[in-house]
Every structure is written in structure tokens, then in C-alpha cells.
Chains A and B, each alone.
Chain A
Amino acid sequence: MVKDITFGQYYPSKSALHNMDARMKLVLTFAMIVCIFLCHNFFSLGVMALFTVIAVIFSRVPVKMLLKSIKPVLVILIFTAVLNIFYTKGGETYFTLFNKISITEKGVNTAVFTMIRIVVLVVLSSLLTYTTTPTMLTDALERLLSPLKVFHIKVHTLAMMMTLALRFIPTLIEEIDRIMNAQKARGADLETGGLIKRAKALIPIFIPLMVSSFRRAYELAFAMTCRCYTGGDGRTRMKQMKLGYRDFIALLICLISLAGIIVLNRFFIKII
């Protein structure tokens, strides 16, 4: 179980989307998520959906993986759809039950619209994490936020903390596994009992974990000092981020989609 853990949900590939500059990917994903909420009718939403399909094709991430990312929001999806169908009234009535519960044209439209919106939102944001490693994301974030240095915000320190946290997740999971086995060997009962009893049983696991984490942090600090780490000043980076032709094509596609959404919003009736 432990060895199989991957950081985030990165899907290794050499696709066009993988090779894009992480900064551009991050900015464009945010921009396109905002765009989802600019859509007011099915035509502009169609543009968004089309954009998402194109992005998926260029990412070469299998559809199965994307469905897996939708699974956790399935409950929310159904819940919002049901609420919207019954509580939004207007337009032609399709169906009435006991003179009280009715399904109307507007209700169905809103439900379908919201569902598509959520799916597009989830797919776009998970595409970002499927095609970008957490390290690349942290790097991109560090570089995008670096103008904040003016306000004395230690962007480099924050990014370094994030990188180290990511680096130590698998190490600590391995450690938890080891401590759990050690406590089980001493007769600790971790699996039975009520909620409170089981929560209490976790104490002998987390205390050793905390202690060993502090020891690790101490040793890591030594190791980093030994490698001449003195903070962000005067540091260079091996991997430079460079905007390439791919990034500008992606930017262009996003701008065209935005233009399409604005135009279609004006020409067709607003649904939401």
C-alpha cells in the first residue's frame, strides 16, 4: 500500500499539456474556471464543454482516470440536480404529482446546466493535477507569487515548506505503518470499539510519530545546512521555466473560448 502512493494524482505522460509551462497552466486553469461561471446559456456552456474535451484530448489522460476524479463529487452532483429539478419553477410544466410536486422546464434546464458546470469544473481542475507534478505546481506558485516579495512575504520559504511537506508524505506514511505494526505487536487494539475508543487507540500512534518527525526535522535542518542552504537569496534554479509556443497556443485557445462565451451569452436568452 505504502509503496504505491503517488503525490497528488499525477499521470506521467509526455503530452502537449504535460509539456506546457506550469505557470501558464495554473493561470489558465483559474481563468477557465472563472469562465464556467460566466456562461449563462447552453450555447456558451457548450463552448466550455468543447474546450474541456479538447484539453482532455491534448492531455492524453485516459477518460477512466477522469471518471475516477468525478466519482467523489457524484453525490453532490445528484443532490444538486434533484434539488434544482423540484425547487426551480417556471416555464412549461411537464409533470405534476398530488398538485404539489411538479417538474417544470426551467427546473430541468437548471438541473442539467448545473450538472454540466460541476463536471466541467472538476475535470478542468483535475486535469491540472493530472498533468503537473506537485513539485512543478509549487515551483510555479513560487514564481507567480514572487512579486509579493515587495510586501516582505517570504514566498521562497513558503514554497520550500510545501516542497518538504510533499517530500515527507510518503516517508511519514511508511512510518505510521511501522508504528502501527509495532503497537499491534504489543497488543494494541486499533480496529474494534466505538468511535471514541478507536480515536483513543490512535494516541499511542501519533505520539511516536510526532517525536520522530521532530527528530527528522532536526536532522534535515543539519543536512540542508551542510548543503549550503541559507534561504532564497542568491539561489539559482536548475530547471528554468520558459514560455514556449505551446503556451501561447493554449492562451489563444482560451481567449477564443472566452470570446465565444461572451458573444453567445449576448445572442441567446439567459437561462441562469
Chain B
Amino acid sequence: MEKLIEIKNLTYTYEPDEEGQTGYTAVKNVSLDINKGEFVAVLGHNGSGKSTLAKLMNAIFEPTEGTVTVKGIPSVSEENGDRIRRIVGMVFQNPDNQIVATIVEDDVAFGPENLGVEPAEIRRRVDEALKTVNMYEHREREPHRLSGGQKQRVAIAGVLAMRTECMILDEPTAMLDPKGRQEVINTVLRLNKEQGMTVVLITHFMEEAVLADRVLIMDGGSVISQGTPREIFSKPGFLREHGLDVPQSTELCLELGIEDCVLTVDECVEKLSLMMGGAV
């Protein structure tokens, strides 16, 4: 499989603040690869270094030690950073703080405008991106009148219009209601499956991590475990030690003594109906 992002022995320490305190090391000796077309979920409690890792992956921060290489481009200079950000786009947690323009379509156009794309081509990309996230009919509205989920989909469209190969989402659903969360996650999933977009989803919702191809668990700045969702969630004790939970349906089935690791509500229903003699 083709590697898109290669991370080797990565350490990142924040600059010491003015009071002379030593800088905080948020990411410690992390090595991992993100493959092309993969859907990776990064889990970890607050302060585990997952957001810092995200900012290192698209060259907003430069590594203190170790290397981050995106398609062979090391993230070492301003110039390389700009090249990397054309490949790796990012969606942030707070939808309000990443929308730049006062009209939806202008905001989606912001990225391609910065890249110097021809006006007619920008128009085409903006329309396409808005249709992909089902926001086309809202293109002339003002962002502050949209719901959280809609704003987040506009932000995703903004990355799509830049035609990046990878999208990093840093807790995109943390500030949304359940409906908005569903809208955003469905959009991300569709992009990954239908368009082959590489997705790195940073989250603390287990139900979202279940959908990924691979799950990384972070704690104290290190990646302490990784594997398929089924491998990861079959160890509830280990997860709890690191301040994480397992999905509710998984927990229910474990409590009931069902041996196989159950991930989704549908699977859970199936197992339970089997247990009760196929009555459901």
C-alpha cells in the first residue's frame, strides 16, 4: 500500500512560556504511517497529544525531533509546509473559528483562491464540493445562520474544493448535537468509501472510531496501541486504564457474557436476538 504520511520518532515540545517554565512535551517518540485511502481514527482523552499530532501531520508545527514526511516532502520549512497543506487538509473542532467569509460559497472558494486556481475552475470545484456535502442549496446563505452540523460540512467542502488527498478532522463533532454529528460522520465516511479520500479522524466518541479501518490509542503523547476497531475494543480493561470507554453496545454484550466483540448497535441487536432464541 502506498504511504501518504510517514512519521518517524516524532517528538514535539511546546516553546517555554515567558515565565521561564520548561516547554510541555505533547508528542513523544511517535512512529506511524498513514496509507493512501485509509480511514484512521485517533482516540485519546484530553491532553493525550492527539490534536498536536494532527497539527504536526499538516506542517502547522515543525517537529522538535524526528520527521514527518508527506508524499516524500519533509515538513521542515515554510515553503514545504505550504506544499504539504496542498495535500493534507484540516477541519477543526469549532465551526465558527474556521469559516472566513460571510457567504457559504465564498468560504468554500477561499482555499482554491489561495492556491491561485482559475475563476471558472474555482466555481466548478465549489459547486461540486457543496453538492458532495449536500449543502448546495445553502450556497448563498450566511454561515452564522446555519446549524453546527451544516457549518462543519461547509468546512469539509472547503477542504474538498482544494482537492487535497487527505483530510484530518480534529474532533469535528465535539461541539455538535447528535443530528449534526451524524451528518458530519456520514459525509466523512462517504468521502472515504466513494472518493478514496484518506481520512484521519481525531475523536473521543467511540461510536465514530468503530467506523474506521484502523484505530490508534494515544496517551501521554505516545501511541500506546493500534489495530482494527474489533481488536481495540475487545480490551475494555486496557481502554479504561487510559481514560477511554468502549462503545455502549460493546459494553452491553460483554456484560452479558457474549464472547465475540460487538461494535455497532445492529450487531448488538443481532446477538441479543440470537441469545433470546431469535424472538426479535
Contacts and interface: CB of A to CB of B under 8 A. Distances in A.
A216 interface: yes
Contacts of A170: 142, 144
B145 interface: yes
Interface in A197-251: 216, 219-220, 222-230, 234-240
B101 interface: yes
Given A225-B60, A226-B60, A234-B116, A167 B102 contact: yes
Interface in A158-212: 163-164, 166-167, 170-171, 174
Chain B interface mostly:
helix
Interface in B121-139: 122-123, 126
A252 to B, nearest CB: 29
B6 interface: no
A107 to B, nearest CB: 48
Contact of A228 (B111, B119, B123): B111
A229 B99 CA distance: 13
A219 B98 contact: yes
B261 to A, nearest CB: 36
A3 interface: yes
A227 B106 contact: no
B122 A238 contact: yes
Interface in B80-111: 82, 85-86, 89-90, 92, 94, 96-103, 105-106, 109-111
B85 A228 contact: yes
A216 B97 contact: yes
A7 interface: yes
B126 A135 contact: no
A134 B112 CA distance: 22
B109 A171 contact: no
Interface in B11-25: none
Among A164, A219, A225, chain B packs the most CB atoms within 10 A around the CB of A225
Contact of A163 (B97, B102, B114): B102
Contacts of A228: 82, 85-86, 111, 114-115, 162
Q: Which bracket fits the contact residues of B? A: 35 or more
Interface string A52-65: 00000000000000
B71 to A, nearest CB: 16
A235 B116 contact: yes
B198 interface: no
A171 B96 contact: yes
A230 B78 CA distance: 10
A236 B103 contact: no
B106 A240 contact: no
B58 A238 contact: no
Contacts of B158: 227
A236 B110 contact: no
Contacts of A235: 113-114, 116
A226 B119 contact: no
Contacts of A219: 92, 94, 97-98
B58 A226 contact: yes
Interface of B: 55, 58, 60, 82, 85-86, 89-90, 92, 94, 96-103, 105-106, 109-119, 122-123, 126, 142-145, 158-159, 162
